[in-house]
Structure 1
């Protein structure tokens, strides 16, 4: 099919290629200046999906050539390092991405992007854009809310969202004249520089508060904060009991996995976006199509809700105390509800779980798979903590409430930072609509630029059809079903395969059966799982 498409593209006349590259009026998402045009991402550059050199060949690793992974993309505009490096031998078996390209996460955290300030290669969770136009124009375009939403619209999901380079190539983008691209980049960077300076000052002040808060919480849960209170009340530190969260918990319970929607009229469902630093946020609710959730599966006052699964490591384990409610609420499956035993003050436990000591324990216990971080009830229950008497718990909560009244200032700083991030999004939105006041309508139309790009485009090499790999007879004899052989053959021919890639080789109706085959093959010792993400022979 790919060969057929390539041949068809090569057989098109220049006029036909140009017509195909231009986005029809009715497909254009919004209006742009008259000397801009709408085209597709794949027309103004090459999109390359990364790959991982065989981990079994240690000679490929440990050199100085950057091997970029999704976590590295958090560096954004100013990427200065990679989390892993390849040797020259590893570089030679990898696709080298030139300096000035933009790398975009295409699995899990879709849309996270970074500008490559050095030559590098990436793993298969990243698609890189090697542009034929202004490098930074493309980078900032990928940071825009419009572009990220377009990627999500085109993504597909089985166990995790993914967008391949074919669908990514089809994203419609605005194309200004080359000179205007540079002016847009200059204006964005000038405005962002001022915003970053303001954000840095606000962040420094917020960090100072957070550091003081962390120190106070440490004192609270080691007994130092209430040393004077114990002296006055004739209580010793030996009254504190070292225990685990499971021993002070009456019940851990996962939420409902039933679909909820903004259009439904049933029981409201609390989700991850409702769990904030300020407690539960009730103004962004989805609803079930019914009210048929019994009381034991609802939340109640003084329950604790904790996030158990998220792409962001920092969100996993974040928890809130349920306040007095005016109606019944269900809660989603990515949350865990905690009900405590008697004589344990819920606010004391919430304060502890949000402390650095508890968070560090969670980070060590949490597991990551395909970019998603998870913690289960067993791991939560194993968190260790020191519990004082009920009276001292009460005193600690009162002292913390009094100290953290000043937290309002910190919230204001956080609000400033959030507003700066929103301002950046607004600037990007205006930039790619031609609304930053930089466009010169007398300049030559971007249509001429697009024609130049198409004329320079070299015919792509014809793909060599890969012969079916020969599986040894002693392995073939071990397969009991055709599906078992099909799954093994895919992994055999495509080393370091992700779960989504494996499932793509079978129909959606057989996804569960294929996942069962992976377990069977693993138990037979025919395949191995690498880093909870890749399957290999």
Structure 2
């Protein structure tokens, strides 16, 4: 409600400080913490606030800055505006405030009023590393309310009734979204156990290579590729010598390793092979991160990708904080981690693991940071490999081998290179990719529509609150 709007009859305008006691939290004395989990549970920061309280983390014997039962607890630092109603006495730590509402005002009415005041809180917050709301700002927060407690309760009842209907719809949308994801994973599972192309395979049985023939094809392509690498190296060395041996001498390609065929399970068709990623990829390595002063936001010469640009649907999203590096940095310090269209990128630092994206042709060359690995295949169709990396079975396998430190999951290059990959003929790979593209595109479109509806449902909640606190919500 703006200042110019007239208050409904029986309503008054005040501030949060005039109708409540605002208690700002602070960090307790370090000596007051109780390892035996006795005393007052400490609540502080966005991680401790939501629809329910999390498992207890810290206890303190310090009997100051305490909430009372039915106090409103609000996050005032970092994730500003998250709310909860205190169900018992808590110690208010740094990052939260407790609001003890006067007896003539319904706490739940103020709860919903605060939910409707996020714009005010964010606008009046301060700070650089962490945004936070000061005590004076919180106390000056404008509140409009009907003086009748009975009317306050009626409005609360109406809000909760409408929210209940909206939440029911949101629940159905979320269930539908989960079902789409389950269907997506079912498609991927059937794609890489041969079930998706079972009928196609029976129709083309006479033209498909046997396991031995497929292995020969892979070996031949590897040998041809290695021969080309050697020829390119010799040309580069010759050029280096002609230039007076300026700079570092080009490195000779590594010797060609053998194709490592793994024992496959009964799920895979007879004419498929199971091999390691390193056997069917020309290049598997991770990126590098340059100094901060060599990174440029929003514009530049060569796009530099981070994990947040990768997705779980195989597409790259460079609209999120687009970052660039200079060509000089790209060709020198980051030379090893150059990325080209059709390369496959996967995050190796999580959680969550399992973000995979195919590099588009928007730019001729890209680069990546150290939390991303490149797969560049010489035999497997890029989209075939990208979808395999997105399959739940693959993600679980790699996650089970990840090194976990301080809650962070890390995949080594060895794990990435030794990843078992099912391989079929290029003709069947192309067929699998075509079927997946058709069906997964439909999944993505439906998922996008559900996400749009979920957003609209959340906006509908804001519309309910706006109506409630302008006096327009009626029984």
Q: Report the TM-score when normalising by structure 2.
A: 0.61
Q: 1:201: how far off? A: 1.6
- The verdict on how the C-alpha distance between 1:412 and 1:388 changes in structure 2, with shifts beyond 3 A counting, is same
CA contact (8 A) 2:74 2:82 kept: yes
Report the 3-state secondary structure (helix = DSSP H, G, I; strand = E; otherwise coil) of the residue aligned with 1:280: coil
C-alpha distance after superposition, 1:215-244 (max 9, x if no partner) = 332343455545666674445277212568
Q: 1:387: how far off? A: 1.0
Specify the alignment match of 2:137 in structure 1: 170
Residue of structure 2 aligned with 1:82, choices 54, 78, 101 = 54
Alignment of structure 1 residues 10-159 onto 2, 5 Å: 35-37=12-14, 44-49=21-26, 59-60=36-37, 75-76=50-51, 79=52, 82-84=54-56, 92=61, 97-104=67-74, 110-111=79-80, 113-116=82-85, 118-119=87-88, 121=90, 126-132=95-101, 134-140=106-112, 141-142=114-115, 145-146=118-119, 149-150=122-123, 153-157=125-129
Specify the alignment match of 1:321 in structure 2: 358
Report the 3-state secondary structure (helix = DSSP H, G, I; strand = E; otherwise coil) of the residue aligned with 1:349: helix
Q: 1:173: how far off? A: 2.3
C-alpha distance after superposition, 1:102-153 (max 9, x if no partner) = 445567x6237242362264795752423325433454425754256348x5
Cα distance in 2 for partners of 1:128, 1:361 equals: 44
Alignment of structure 1 residues 337-416 onto 2, 5 Å: 338-360=374-396, 365=402, 374-376=408-410, 378=412, 381-382=415-416, 385-389=419-423, 391=425, 393-407=429-443, 408-416=445-453
- The verdict on how the C-alpha distance between 1:412 and 1:178 changes in structure 2, with shifts beyond 3 A counting, is same
Cα distance in 2 for partners of 1:340, 1:136 equals: 57
CA contact (8 A) 1:252 1:337 kept: yes
- The verdict on how the C-alpha distance between 1:201 and 1:290 changes in structure 2, with shifts beyond 3 A counting, is same
Report the 3-state secondary structure (helix = DSSP H, G, I; strand = E; otherwise coil) of the residue aligned with 2:188: helix
Specify the alignment match of 1:524 in structure 2: none
C-alpha distance after superposition, 1:172-225 (max 9, x if no partner) = 522223648656645543432222122112222222222222233234345554
- The verdict on how the C-alpha distance between 1:83 and 1:39 changes in structure 2, with shifts beyond 3 A counting, is closer
Cα distance in 2 for partners of 1:269, 1:42 equals: 52
Residue of structure 1 aligned with 2:287, choices 249, 253, 264 = 253
Specify the alignment match of 1:202 in structure 2: 173
CA contact (8 A) 2:48 2:54 kept: no
RMSD, aligned α-carbons: 5.0
Q: How many pairs are equivalent?
A: 387
Specify the alignment match of 2:343 in structure 1: 303
Give the unaligned 5+ runs of structure 1. Answer: 1-27, 440-537
Report the 3-state secondary structure (helix = DSSP H, G, I; strand = E; otherwise coil) of the residue aligned with 2:379: coil
Specify the alignment match of 1:437 in structure 2: 472
Alignment of structure 1 residues 504-519 onto 2, 5 Å: none
Larger CA deviation: 393-402 vs 286-295: 286-295
Q: 1:253: how far off? A: 0.7
Alignment of structure 1 residues 185-224 onto 2, 5 Å: 185-224=156-195
CA contact (8 A) 1:99 1:120 kept: yes
- The verdict on how the C-alpha distance between 1:341 and 1:154 changes in structure 2, with shifts beyond 3 A counting, is same
CA contact (8 A) 2:296 2:324 kept: yes
Cα distance in 1 for partners of 2:32, 2:394 equals: 34
Q: Report the TM-score when normalising by structure 1.
A: 0.55
- The verdict on how the C-alpha distance between 1:301 and 1:385 changes in structure 2, with shifts beyond 3 A counting, is same
Cα distance in 1 for partners of 2:63, 2:418 equals: 45
CA contact (8 A) 2:32 2:61 kept: no
Q: 1:32: how far off? A: 6.9
Report the 3-state secondary structure (helix = DSSP H, G, I; strand = E; otherwise coil) of the residue aligned with 2:67: coil
CA contact (8 A) 2:310 2:357 kept: yes
Specify the alignment match of 1:424 in structure 2: 461
Higher gyration radius (CA): 2
C-alpha distance after superposition, 1:449-482 (max 9, x if no partner) = xxxxxxxxxxxxxxxxxxxxxxxxxxxxxxxxxx
Give the unaligned 5+ runs of structure 2. Answer: 212-269
Report the 3-state secondary structure (helix = DSSP H, G, I; strand = E; otherwise coil) of the residue aligned with 2:412: helix
Report the 3-state secondary structure (helix = DSSP H, G, I; strand = E; otherwise coil) of the residue aligned with 2:341: coil
